[in-house]
Amino acid sequence: MLKYILKRLLLSVLILLGVSLIIYFLIRLMPTSFIDQKINAMNQGGAIVTDEMKQALYDTYGLGDNSFGGIIKGYGEWLLNICKFDFGTSFKYGLPVNEVIVKHMGISFIVALIATIFEFMIAIPLGITAATHQYSIRDYVVTILVMIGISLPSFFFGQALKGIFSYNLGWFPVSGTVEAGSSTTGIALLLEYAHHMVLPILTIIILSIGPRMRMTRTNMLEVLNADYIRTARAKGLKESKVINKHAFRNTLIPIVTTLAGLLPSLFSGAIITEQVFGLDGIGNIALNAMNSGDIPFIMGYNMFLALLSVVGVLLSDLMYAVVDPRVKLS
């Protein structure tokens, strides 16, 4: 096991190195940047921006040399800083990228974590009941409802929930995490946060249970047709024991594969949902940085997600040995 983990860690370093190279060159080749937008804003404000001033701005932000040699040099310096866990300073927010990510990551993490817990609690039982009652009214109803949820875009469904529960009924706030000018603290502040988070979390839950429910149903149907399930039933075991002990555990094996993407999804933020509900999460911050051409933040944010993805894949592989004793890691 230890030898396998060490091999995967060394492979992960090579993967992250390749990802860093791709990210850096793609971002440096963007058709626009934060500097271009600053120059356009200065021109629209009536200021005269000379070529010398433009070059000075590019040099200040470390973007002055766009030759191949200059980009390679910039990549080397950036990679060296990354190894020191220094992602640079955000152009747009004027703070170290590390601080911006940590500051806004909490909201996204809490929303994603709660939504993921409810997603598993709802989707897996629905998938099991749909599989064990295949072609019944229960199966058709569950499948139709889930397909409707899959088909709805998040921006449309989020706005629909806001229209019903915020504008029409007035049950929940329209946007944000706290009321404007709020001075609550302690338990009252937590309750206010929770009140604002209901609709964003509900949006993510309803739109995400579909794929996991379908995966659970498909895997469960495949397992239920296996020979060892027929043998277990022939021995006279209770149907609940056959389903919960024998079938469900083997159904978990493919589901574990999805854990590889679970870790980055907890920290990456739901960009569209955060935009719809005006949440100050990392997804919303990253989108604004992208629109502004904030090169250091975009590169740091993507490297952060790449690191989480590599760790998620490693944990997913290790979980195979826990779920299926037949799997040997070497």
pLDDT digits over 164-208, tens only?
A: 888 888 888 887 777 766 667 778 778 877 888 888 888 888 888
Residues 154 and 18 in one domain: no
Confidence of residue 328 (pLDDT cuts 50, 70, 90): low
SS3 of residue 208 by DSSP:
helix
Q: Check whether residue 20 and residue 156 sit in a common domain.
A: no
The 10 Å Cβ neighbour count of residue 284 is: 23
Residue 48 has pLDDT above 70, yes or no: no
In-domain check, residue 185: yes
Is residue 173 domain-resident?
A: yes
Are residue 197 and residue 69 in the same domain, yes or no?
no
Do 185 and 50 share a structural domain?
no
Q: With helix as H, strand as E and coil as C, how does 225-274 read? A: CCHHHHHHHHCCCCHHHHHHHHHHHHHHHHHHHCHHHHHHHHHHCCHHHH
Return d(Cα 158, Cα 152) in angstroms, integer: 10
Q: Is residue 88 part of a domain?
A: no
User: Is residue 99, in this structure, part of any structural domain at all?
Assistant: no
205 and 111 assigned to the same domain: yes
Report if residue 29 sits inside a domain. yes
pTM strictly above 0.85: no
Reference 269, options 259, 284, 254; nearest CA is 284
One domain, residues 293 and 194: yes
Sign of CA pseudo-dihedral 58, 61, 62, 63: negative
Q: What is the mean pLDDT of residues 211-232?
A: 82
We report the CATH number of the domain holding residue 279 as 1.10.3720.10
312, part of any domain: yes
Same domain, 126 and 240: yes
What is the domain count for the chain?
2
Asked if 298 and 93 count as a contact pair (C-beta separation under 8 A), the reply is no
Give the Å distances, CA to CA, from 140 to 53, 113, 327.
66, 29, 35
Which among 24, 51, 83 is the end of a domain? 83
Identify which of 308, 288, 310, 312 has the alpha carbon closest to the alpha carbon of residue 298: 288
Q: Encoding tokens for residue 15?
A: 């993967």
The pLDDT tens digits for 62-107 are: 666 667 777 787 788 888 888 888 888 887 888 888 888 888 888 8
Q: Are residues 185 and 228 in the same domain?
A: yes
Q: Specify whether 165 is located in the same domain as 272.
A: yes
In terms of domains, do 123 and 38 share one? no
pLDDT per position as a tens digit, 3-16? 777 887 888 888 88
Is the residue at 144 inside a domain?
A: yes
**Is residue 273 assigned to a domain?**
yes
pLDDT at 258: 72
Distance, in Å, from the CA atom of 71 to the CA atom of 77, rounded to the nearest integer, reads 10
Instruction: Give yes or no: residues 51 and 159 share one domain.
Output: no
Residue 318 tokens read as 């290790």
Q: State the pLDDT at residue 327.
A: 59
Asked whether residue 42 falls in the same domain as residue 118, the answer is no
Give every CB contact of residue 22 below 8 A, 6+ residues apart in sequence.
none
Give the tokens for residue 174.
């329209």
Domain carrying residue 193:
104-323
